[in-house]
Amino acid sequence: MGLTVAEKILKNHLVEGKTEKGAPVEIKIDQTLTQDATGTMVYLQFESMDIPRVKTEVSVSYIDHNTLQSDFRNMDDHRFLQTIAAKHGLYFSRPGNGICHQVHLERFGKPGKTLLGSDSHTPTGGGLGMIAIGAGGLDVAVAMAGGPFPLSYPEIIGVKLTGKLQPLCSAKDVILKLLQIETVKGGVGKIYEYFGDGVKSLNVTQRATITNMGAELGATTSVFPSDDITREFLKLQNREADWTEIVADSNAKYSRVIEIDLNKVEPMIATPHMPDKVVTVREVAGLPVDQVGIGSCTNSSINDLGAASEILDGKTVAANVSLGIAPGSKQVLYSAFEAGIMQKLIDAGARILESACGPCIGMGFAPKSGGVTLRTFNRNFKGRSGTPDAGVYLVSPETAAASALTGVITDPRDVFKTYTKDYSSFVKINDNMIVAPLSEDAAKEIIVEKGPNIKECPKASAITETIAAPILLKAGDNITTDDIMPAGSKVLPLRSNIPEISKYVYEAIDPNFHDKAKKAGKGIIIGGDNYGQGSSREHAALAPMYLGIKAIIAKSFARIHKANLINFGIMALEFANPADYDKINEGDDVEMIDVINSVKSGKNIVVRNNTQGFEFEVVHKIVGKDIDILLSGGKLNYTKNNF
């Protein structure tokens, strides 16, 4: 039987395990990336391993999240990240150089390589034909130290694309359509691989839009073949030598195939407050809009901005709309000026924001109270925009620009008829904001700078045979890592200070959670389906661990968050009978017995509800080395003891 693209890359990087769906495997990691909101803790963890230099082919530290410097804390983190990159052999992408995923696509990604990033949208690299996976920071630190990355061997879902996108319909509409089909939890344990004649009609940045937002499916990653289109993109980046052809064999088999006719794709929109609440734009057309944002790692390439500029050329945005533009990288920003794109946008009334994540993570450009904001971003979780009661809608750049022009949600085909141009020829290369690694001798002279807000990473204690604790919180379905550990300008500067950031854990669900947890000293949390979806932020596990959370019992987990819980010594348990979820109340005292033996033997764990006087069972689904990692009290303890 032939192999798919994903199978070929995974096979070439397999370190341990069998390539059977669901089997525990470990793969070699070629490249890593971090961003500053997660990076500080990653490098504190790496530093604690006492390894002088990263062992990957390429590792890059990006500054793109915490760029709002209202006090010393973010700048201190940036100086720490720059000096530790110099000390340990990493590339350093300076503030203003752009969003990690856009810059990595342009300057570092290579077909056939593996990439592990401490950001959930790392699968953007799949647009180049990489196996690019988002993970918790501790997994990235271990990869930089030369360790393999563990995962359950994924199911490979084929997405067959036929036809060609019609004018003013975009790659964003394709992934929104797939989210409508598969939902935010449909991709757990899966890789989505795109194939078919329609693939040839999509350029690399269009493919990257699709793989980027594949993270919202809960997928391990998404991947396109590396073909002549890929080669042309790398040639424009002066990196043609990095190209390798990787296509699926003609007799490759997928476990399931989803067919999407690009000819029939129309403008789509994700309505509040979940990326899979997708309808056609025409179904909600006419709703007044207060704000429009174009950019983020999903839709900030030169062609994305170019499409918007064509619609707005010679016109002015509606008086009721504030339009913000966030170019994905310095390269995009400079090239867009060369192409005349930025002039058109500015003339139309757009505000030009920094080449950074910005409003996507609630870092500035927040909408008005109760406002409607259309964004070309990838997530519309409640409160993520920085305004708790705003309605966030996810759209393509074409729909965003058309709606900014009319002041209401508008199908772009109703205001503009022509084809958009290809602006790739305007791309200009300038890497002066990327600091290359120092030589080993020069690196020895570097003094790592640590500001007063940078605290050491706390460690968990080993798992005990009996765990007795109160239920401190009972949450519902699709709880996001934003719900657990919010972002925004108030909280993100605390990412390197776990005692302080822990004060905001579960703030959106229970404002008193921190105080309850501190008073109890330990606790257990109950969750519904797809617990922990969204951003890869390990702080959503690290801060609860610091507060004494011993276990999460849920109906099901999102992949990255479950791995993060294990990495920090928190038991990720699922109800053997989901109906038991309804029987448990917040405040109940429960006791888990025979824990270590049950984990080692693969048996269900018995939980006694001492408050209500009944027992139920939970399943741990933890296999391979994850068992030892969990029982050690997390991956940092395990790595120091065994690596």
**What distances in angstroms separate CA 448 from CA 78, 96, 140, one per listed residue?**
11, 22, 20
Instruction: Flag the least confident range among 119-133, 298-312, 410-424, 427-441.
Output: 410-424
Residue 190 falls within a domain, yes or no?
Answer: yes
With cut-offs at 50, 70 and 90, classify the pLDDT of residue 34.
Answer: very high
**Whether residues 253 and 275 fall in one domain:** no
Residue 66 falls within a domain, yes or no?
Answer: yes
H, E, C per residue of 10-67: HHHHEEECCCCCCCEEEECCCEEEEEHHHHHHHHHHHHCCCCCCCCCCEEEEECCCCC
CA distance 380 to 480: 11
**Whether residues 240 and 294 fall in one domain:** no
With cut-offs at 50, 70 and 90, classify the pLDDT of residue 536.
Answer: confident
537 included as an active-site residue: yes
What is the percent of the chain with per-residue pLDDT over 70, rounded to a whole number? Answer: 100
With cut-offs at 50, 70 and 90, classify the pLDDT of residue 456.
Answer: confident
559 included as an active-site residue: no
Longest Cα separation, the chain: 71
Strand 351-352 relative to strand 322-326, pairing: parallel
With cut-offs at 50, 70 and 90, classify the pLDDT of residue 92.
Answer: very high
Average pLDDT, stretch 406-425? 91
pTM of the model: 0.90
**Whether residues 353 and 205 fall in one domain:** no
65 included as an active-site residue: yes
CA distance 426 to 340: 10
13 included as an active-site residue: no
DSSP string, 157-198: EEEEEES-PPTT--HHHHHHHHHHHH-TTTTTTEEEEEESGG
Residue 521 falls within a domain, yes or no?
Answer: yes
Residue 249 falls within a domain, yes or no?
Answer: yes
Tens of pLDDT along 617-628? 999 988 888 888
Supply the CATH number for residue 282's domain: 3.30.499.10
With cut-offs at 50, 70 and 90, classify the pLDDT of residue 48.
Answer: confident
Residue 519 falls within a domain, yes or no?
Answer: yes
**Whether residues 210 and 357 fall in one domain:** no
Nearest to 562, CA basis, from 6, 212, 150, 183? 150
pLDDT for 643: 58
Question: Residue 499 CB: number of other CB atoms within 10 A?
Answer: 12
**What distances in angstroms separate CA 230 from CA 45, 194, 261, 280, 539, one per listed residue?**
35, 14, 22, 30, 35
Instruction: Flag the least confident range among 314-318, 419-423, 512-516.
Output: 419-423
pLDDT for 534: 83
Query: Which secondary-structure segment (H or E) carries 278?
Result: strand 278-280
Tally of domains in the chain: 3
Q: Is pLDDT of 559 > 90?
A: no
Of 264, 299, 315, which residue is a domain's last? Answer: 264
Residue 457 falls within a domain, yes or no?
Answer: no
**Whether residues 361 and 243 fall in one domain:** no
User: Which phi-psi region, left, alpha or beta, contains residue 604 (left: φ > 0; alpha: ψ -120 to 50)?
Assistant: beta
Residue 461 falls within a domain, yes or no?
Answer: no
* Contact partners, residue 205, CB within 8 Å, separation at least 6: 105, 127, 233, 301, 302, 303, 304
pLDDT for 326: 95
**Whether residues 32 and 59 fall in one domain:** yes
pLDDT for 535: 79
* Contact partners, residue 98, CB within 8 Å, separation at least 6: 64, 327, 328, 329, 330, 331, 332, 333, 355, 356
With cut-offs at 50, 70 and 90, classify the pLDDT of residue 379.
Answer: very high
Supply the CATH number for residue 632's domain: 3.20.19.10
Cβ–Cβ < 8 Å for 223, 130 = yes
Nearest to 27, CA basis, from 249, 245, 220, 212? 220
The active-site residue, picked from 88, 413, 537, 539, is 537
Count H helices, E strands: the chain?
22, 27
Nearest to 151, CA basis, from 130, 172, 127, 135? 135
**Whether residues 156 and 225 fall in one domain:** yes
Q: Is pLDDT of 635 > 90?
A: no
Q: What is the mean pLDDT of the chain?
A: 94
DSSP state of 375: E
**Whether residues 117 and 240 fall in one domain:** yes
Q: Is pLDDT of 6 > 90?
A: yes
Residue 232 falls within a domain, yes or no?
Answer: yes
Average pLDDT, stretch 540-557? 95
Instruction: Flag the least confident range among 202-206, 227-231, 524-528, 534-538.
Output: 534-538
The active-site residue, picked from 170, 424, 535, 536, is 535
Tens of pLDDT along 232-286? 999 999 999 999 999 999 999 999 999 999 999 999 999 999 999 999 999 999 9
CA distance 469 to 360: 37
**Whether residues 222 and 293 fall in one domain:** no
379 included as an active-site residue: yes
Written as six digits, the tokens of 30 are 């070629």
Q: Is pLDDT of 560 > 80?
A: yes
**What distances in angstroms separate CA 445 from CA 47, 51, 86, 439, one per listed residue?**
16, 16, 10, 10
CA distance 351 to 348: 9
Average pLDDT, stretch 115-139? 96
61 included as an active-site residue: no
**Whether residues 407 and 502 fall in one domain:** no
**Whether residues 62 and 194 fall in one domain:** yes
**Whether residues 277 and 255 fall in one domain:** no
The active-site residue, picked from 104, 375, 379, 384, is 379
pLDDT for 353: 94
Of 396, 426, 456, which residue is a domain's last? Answer: 426
Domain that holds residue 32: 5-264
The active-site residue, picked from 65, 73, 121, 413, is 65
Question: Helical H runs in 108-170?
Answer: 137-144
Of 264, 297, 324, which residue is a domain's last? Answer: 264
